């Protein structure tokens, strides 16, 4: 019997009923199935005839079953001697990291809690000689039972034949990528599992703190040292994080808690009497008290809210009817009262319809604030570094906060043969920009607003003018300088370009406290 011939309803080992195909990977098929002996859902891998790594996958699955960590997906059965080799795994019901991020980037403590637990699980696997090598947002699960689960350890690498010269470093980088995604909502290096690719500057993906204020220290430093180890010791202090154990150690003192799960898309099956709700297996002894590696103590779980408890009580039908009538009457009174008040406040006491429009309604496009996805220092005519690690300060929404500033120069830029330095903001996609509001710490000095698409192509003045043409010029100082771009300018990148930075102490230095970009709504 080949994988091609298998249809839903087929059974393996006279026990595992294949329900439907979940995914197919290079000659291997993953099914959602039912273990009819224990009446529980399971995941099953089957393989097409001639699949070269079936025995390797089965061996990896058996090794995974011996990892003593509840956060590693359990392997229940694996057989490569049957006519159709197979692997049977725990079916995790819950939300993946990709599902959680779909609701928005996670709060720092929640991101830290989720990824730190994954790091501990993978460190335990490494101690047993197993690696993941294929970490992605879909492989980290927050189960409906309240536990972190890492799927695919050992098995995923065997399925695709993944190898790494330094597997410990590869998994550390994978954990860094997971933390980057949890904090920012982007995946560094390209789109993955429904997450968009992280925005990139001339030096590669933006560091997490350049994208979001969620990336607080030390999380931002840990993320960069793991996900972008080539920047460690250069743009961030500390050595590269080279293993899951080092990642876990770095996260040990970071404040964290486990995020609330997204609403599961699948109902949780009721276990049979005498079985475990988490796995469906028969319970053979007293339950342990205290906290397991996979979740909080039972005493730490919150009881149902009072409102929820009240809603679960049966109600008398007559009481329901009376409650509904009273609610409808109150609603009607509120609506009528609001209409009367609104009519009296309208010019003419409601006798004439208000047909006048405000001047703004017909004067150009309606403007709205555009949300940046990142910011960076911009110095294509120097060493490329203009304190890009602090650029997020200019887009964090705090006019009174610490400013971004350029490097300090002993002489005016013109004397150094440098046409300017700047701060570049990435809008994520091409937008129509009409106004830029700049807040400066002090001093009057000229700035240019340049808008364009390809900052990486800038090598000289001509390519700067071509890639990021001047959209407006102004002399700015203090808070709230609005620079208007007549007719608007389209582009993904907005560059605040300083051609004559002022003196700041004994150095020439540009500074920007906050930038707000307004575009067509």
- SS3 of 421-443: EEEEEEEEEEEEEEEEEEECCCC
Non-local (6+) Cβ contacts of 113 within 8 A are 256, 257, 258, 259
Residue 350 confidence class, pLDDT cut points 50, 70, 90: very low
Q: How far apart are CA 483 and CA 207, in angstroms?
A: 28
Asked whether residue 327 is assigned to any structural domain, the reply reads no
Q: How far apart are CA 87 and CA 331, in angstroms?
A: 59
The pLDDT of residue 454:
86
Q: Are residues 18 and 139 in the same domain?
A: no
The pLDDT of residue 290:
31
18, 6 Cβ separation under 8 angstroms:
yes
Asked whether residue 83 is assigned to any structural domain, the reply reads yes
Q: Are residues 137 and 217 in the same domain?
A: yes
**pLDDT above 60: residue 425:** yes
Q: Are residues 75 and 109 in the same domain?
A: no
Asked whether residue 31 is assigned to any structural domain, the reply reads yes
Q: Are residues 64 and 199 in the same domain?
A: no
The pLDDT of residue 410:
85
For residue range 214-229, list pLDDT tens digits in order.
899 999 999 999 999 9
**pLDDT above 80: residue 251:** yes
**Cβ atoms within 10 Å, residue 88:** 23
Q: Are residues 122 and 237 in the same domain?
A: yes
Q: Are residues 44 and 112 in the same domain?
A: no
Q: Are residues 443 and 496 in the same domain?
A: yes
CATH number at residue 503: 2.60.120.260
Half-sphere exposure of 84 (CA within 13 A, CB side): 20
pTM: predicted TM-score of the whole model, two decimal places: 0.57
**Of 45, 47, 40, nearest to 22 (Cα)?**
45
Last residue of a domain, one of 90, 116, 135: 90
The pLDDT of residue 26:
78
DSSP string, 342-406: HHHHSGGGGSS------GGGGSSPPEEE---SEEEEE-TTTTS-S-GGGGGGGGSS-TTSPPEE-
Asked whether residue 515 is assigned to any structural domain, the reply reads yes
Q: Are residues 155 and 228 in the same domain?
A: yes
**pLDDT above 70: residue 371:** yes
For residue range 99-146, list pLDDT tens digits in order.
999 989 999 999 999 999 999 999 999 999 999 999 999 999 998 777
Q: Phi and psi of 14, rounded to 5°? A: 55, 30
Non-local (6+) Cβ contacts of 336 within 8 A are none
Asked whether residue 349 is assigned to any structural domain, the reply reads no
Q: Are residues 411 and 473 in the same domain?
A: yes
Non-local (6+) Cβ contacts of 497 within 8 A are 378, 420, 421, 422, 447, 448, 449, 450, 468, 470
**pLDDT above 80: residue 259:** no
CATH number at residue 139: 1.10.510.10
The pLDDT of residue 504:
79
Non-local (6+) Cβ contacts of 9 within 8 A are 17, 18, 19
DSSP E strands in 119-215: the ranges are: 140-143, 148-150, 200-201, 204-205
The pLDDT of residue 333:
52
Beta partners for residue 425, in sequence order? 375, 494
Distance between start and end Cα atoms, the chain: 59
The pLDDT of residue 313:
35
CATH number at residue 85: 3.30.200.20
Structural domain that includes position 373: 367-520
Mean pLDDT, to the nearest integer, of 383-410?
81
Report whether the peptide linkage leading into residue 218 is cis, meaning its omega lies within 30 degrees of zero.
yes
284: helix, strand or coil: coil
Q: How far apart are CA 224 and CA 220, in angstroms?
A: 6
Last residue of a domain, one of 192, 218, 251: 251
Q: Phi and psi of 199, rounded to 5°? A: -65, 145
User: In this predicted model, which residue has the larger pLDDT, 264 or 58?
Assistant: 58
**Of 247, 70, 113, nearest to 170 (Cα)?**
247
Last residue of a domain, one of 222, 251, 280: 251
Q: How far apart are CA 512 and CA 514, in angstroms?
A: 6
**pLDDT above 70: residue 353:** no
> Into how many domains does the chain fold?
3
Residue 280 confidence class, pLDDT cut points 50, 70, 90: very low
Q: Are residues 386 and 467 in the same domain?
A: yes
As a whole number, the mean pLDDT across the chain is 80
Asked whether residue 33 is assigned to any structural domain, the reply reads yes
247: helix, strand or coil: helix
Q: How far apart are CA 215 and CA 504, in angstroms?
A: 29
Mean pLDDT, to the nearest integer, of 507-521?
88
Residue 297 confidence class, pLDDT cut points 50, 70, 90: very low
The pLDDT of residue 293:
33
Q: How far apart are CA 272 and CA 430, in angstroms?
A: 56
Asked whether residue 297 is assigned to any structural domain, the reply reads no
Beta partners for residue 54, in sequence order? none
Helices and strands, counts by H and E, the chain: 11, 22
Q: How far apart are CA 281 and CA 64, in angstroms?
A: 19
Q: Are residues 470 and 406 in the same domain?
A: yes
Asked whether residue 175 is assigned to any structural domain, the reply reads yes
481, 438 Cβ separation under 8 angstroms:
yes
Q: Are residues 115 and 170 in the same domain?
A: yes
**Cβ atoms within 10 Å, residue 116:** 22
| Helix/strand/coil percent split, the chain, to 5 | 30, 25, 45
Mean pLDDT, to the nearest integer, of 10-27?
92
């Amino acid at each position: 019997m080949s994988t091609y011939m298998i249809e839903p309803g087929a059974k393996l080992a006279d026990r595992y009923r294949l329900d439907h195909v979940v995914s197919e990977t290079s000659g291997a098929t993953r099914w959602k199935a039912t273990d009819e002996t224990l009446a529980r859902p399971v995941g099953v891998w089957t393989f097409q005839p001639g699949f070269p790594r079936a025995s390797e996958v089965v061996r990896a699955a058996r090794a995974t079953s011996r990892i003593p960590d509840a956060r590693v997906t359990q392997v229940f059965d694996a057989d490569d001697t049957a006519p159709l080799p197979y692997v049977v795994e725990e079916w995790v019901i819950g939300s993946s990291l990709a599902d959680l991020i779909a609701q928005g980037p996670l709060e720092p403590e929640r991101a830290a809690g989720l990824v730190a637990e994954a790091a501990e699980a993978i460190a335990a696997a490494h101690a047993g000689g197993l690696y993941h090598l294929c970490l992605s947002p879909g492989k980290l699960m927050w189960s409906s039972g309240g536990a972190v689960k890492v799927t695919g350890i050992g098995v995923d690498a065997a399925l695709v034949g993944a190898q790494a010269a330094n597997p410990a470093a590869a998994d550390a980088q994978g954990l860094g990528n997971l933390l980057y995604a949890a904090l920012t909502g982007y995946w560094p290096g390209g789109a993955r599992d429904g997450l968009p690719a992280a925005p990139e500057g001339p030096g590669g993906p933006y560091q997490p703190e350049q994208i979001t204020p969620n990336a607080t220290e030390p999380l931002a430093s840990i993320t960069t040292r793991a996900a972008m180890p080539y920047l460690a010791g250069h743009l961030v202090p500390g050595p590269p994080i080279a293993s899951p154990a080092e990642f876990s150690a770095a996260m040990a003192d970071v404040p964290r808690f486990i995020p609330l799960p997204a609403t599961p898309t699948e109902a949780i099956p009721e276990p049979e009497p005498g079985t475990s709700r988490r796995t469906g297996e028969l319970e053979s002894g007293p339950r342990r008290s205290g906290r397991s590696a996979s979740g909080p103590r039972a005493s730490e779980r919150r009881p149902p809210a009072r409102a929820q408890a009240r809603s679960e009580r049966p109600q008398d039908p007559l009481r329901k009817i009376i409650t509904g009538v009273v609610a409808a009457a109150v609603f009607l009174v509120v609506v009528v009262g609001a209409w009367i008040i609104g009519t009296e406040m309208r010019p003419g006491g409601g006798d004439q319809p208000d047909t006048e429009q405000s001047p703004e309604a017909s004067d150009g496009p309606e403007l709205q604030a555009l949300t940046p996805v990142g910011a960076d220092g911009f110095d294509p005519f120097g060493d490329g570094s203009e304190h890009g690690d602090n650029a997020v300060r200019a887009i964090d929404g705090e006019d009174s906060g610490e400013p971004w500033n350029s490097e300090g120069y002993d002489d005016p830029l013109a004397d150094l043969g440098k046409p300017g330095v700047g701060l570049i903001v990435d809008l994520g996609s091409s937008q129509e920009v009409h106004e830029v509001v700049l807040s400066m710490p002090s001093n009057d000095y000229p700035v240019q607003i340049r808008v364009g698409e390809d900052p990486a192509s800038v090598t000289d003045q001509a390519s700067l003018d071509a890639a990021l043409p001047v959209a407006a010029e102004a002399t700015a100082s203090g808070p709230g300088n609005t620079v208007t771009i007549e007719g608007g300018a389209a582009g993904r990148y907005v560059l605040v370009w300083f051609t004559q930075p002022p003196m700041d102490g004994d150095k020439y230095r540009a500074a920007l406290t906050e930038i707000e970009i307004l575009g067509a709504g």
